[in-house]
Amino acid sequence: MWRFIGVRLLQAIPVILVVITVTFFLVRIAPGGPFDSEKAVPREVKAALEAQYKLNLPLFQQYAAYLDDLAHGDLGPSFKYPGRSVNELIAAGFPVTAELGLYALLVALGIGGLAGVCASLKPNTAQDYIPMSLAMIGICMPSFLLGPLLVLLFGIYLDWLPVSGWGDIPGDKILPSITLGAGYAAYIARLGRAGMLEVLSQDYIRTARAKGLPRWQVVFKHSLRGGLIPVVAFLGPAFAGLLAGSFVVETIFQIPGLGRFYVQAAFNRDYTMILGTTVFLSVLIVLFNLLSDILAAWMNPRLRAQFGGH
């Protein structure tokens, strides 16, 4: 197990380096410097600004300096919000995005897991078809359509829930969390159903049933762990998707999270902000992938045995 974790950790390092390098050079080859748009900045001021942001150095020295700063956890200053660092903006936005992502994940796991397990217990009956058809709708209905439709229905016509904000009015976290989580609930339902069906057809489940164990015990004690391995393996990619999805959801519901800052930075061409956020999110996603791989491996006794027990 430790060897497995070690191998995966070593594999993550080049990925993170590639992300940092590609992002850095992509942002640097973007047309136009960040100070070109300022109206008639005197040449000395521009030179001073460029010196301050180290833009006057050769590209590779800039890269080395950036890596050095990064190693110390410093993502640099923001170009568009003078006096604020990328670190501060991330510190302000990320907790909000993380909270939204967490609730969305709970929605996805709760609804999706339940639907998938229910469907797998009585395949090819109404108990299977109804949740699976809903799941298909969930997969095909993008969040930027689902969000406004939910707002229209629950926020405006029925007037049950607030239509925007985050933590200002009670209940304003419900619609964003559902909007973000719905698509993943659908995927998890499908994965959970397929995984459970496979486990339920195994010999050891038949043995458990033949021994006369109660049905709930067979489902919860014997099947769930194996059946949900595909779901756990999906959590890494789902996390990446949730972060990207938060761009849209935060825009729709006017939530001051990192996703909205990122899209705003993309509009404003705030290069350091884009660079810093991309690096931050990428590292986070790589680590999360790693974590979900390890968890899935830990849940899978065959893989555990392959790497020599605990």
Partner 1 sequence: MNARAIDDIARAEQGTSLWKDAWLRLRKNHLAVFGLVILALFVIIALLTPWIAPYSYQAQDLELGASGPSAAHWLGTDIFGRDLMTQIMYGGRISLAVGFVATAVALLIGVTWGAIAGYVGGRTDAVMMRLVDILYALPFMIFIVLLTVVFGRNMLLLFLAIGAVEWLTMARIMRGQVQSLRQQEFVEAAISLGLSPATLIRRHLVPNALGPIIVYTTLTIPNVMLLEAFLSFLGLGIQPPQTSWGLLISYGAETMEEYPWLLIFPGVALTLTLFSLNFLGDGLRDALDVRGAKD
Cβ 232 to partner 1, closest distance in Å?
14
Helix (H) and strand (E) counts in the chain: 15, 0
Q: How far is 73 from 137, CA to CA, in rounded Å?
A: 42
Interface with partner 1, residue 156, by CB under 8 A: yes
Q: Which residue, 117, 257, 131, 127, is CA-closest to 195?
A: 117
CB nearer partner 1, residue 144 or residue 298: 144
Name the DSSP class of 187.
H
Interface with partner 1, residue 63, by CB under 8 A: no
**Of the candidate residues 102, 130, 140, 169, the single one contacting partner 1 (CB under 8 A):** 140
Interface with partner 1, residue 216, by CB under 8 A: no
Q: Count CB-CB contacts under 10 A for residue 28.
A: 15
Cβ 134 to partner 1, closest distance in Å?
13
CB nearer partner 1, residue 218 or residue 229: 229
Interface with partner 1, residue 303, by CB under 8 A: no
Q: Residues binding partner 1: what is the number (CB under 8 A)?
A: 50
Q: How far is 113 from 58, CA to CA, in rounded Å?
A: 53
Q: Which residue, 192, 162, 188, 159, is CA-closest to 177?
A: 162
Site for partner 1 in 223-252 (CB under 8 A): 230, 240-241, 243-245, 247-248, 251-252
Site for partner 1 in 192-211 (CB under 8 A): 194
Interface with partner 1, residue 274, by CB under 8 A: yes
Interface with partner 1, residue 142, by CB under 8 A: yes
Q: How far is 64 from 72, CA to CA, in rounded Å?
A: 13
Name the DSSP class of 270.
-
Q: Which residues make beta-bridge pairs with 85? A: 77
Secondary structure of residue 163 in the 3-state scheme: coil
CB nearer partner 1, residue 179 or residue 223: 179
Q: Which residue, 230, 286, 233, 256, is CA-closest to 89?
A: 256
Secondary structure of residue 77 in the 3-state scheme: strand
Cβ 25 to partner 1, closest distance in Å?
10
Interface with partner 1, residue 97, by CB under 8 A: no
Tokens of 67: 């890596």
Cβ 71 to partner 1, closest distance in Å?
21
Binding residues for partner 1 (CB under 8 A)? 12, 14-15, 18-19, 23, 26-27, 29-31, 136-137, 139-142, 144-145, 147-149, 151-152, 156, 190-191, 194, 230, 240-241, 243-245, 247-248, 251-252, 262-263, 266-267, 269, 274, 278, 281-282, 285-286, 289
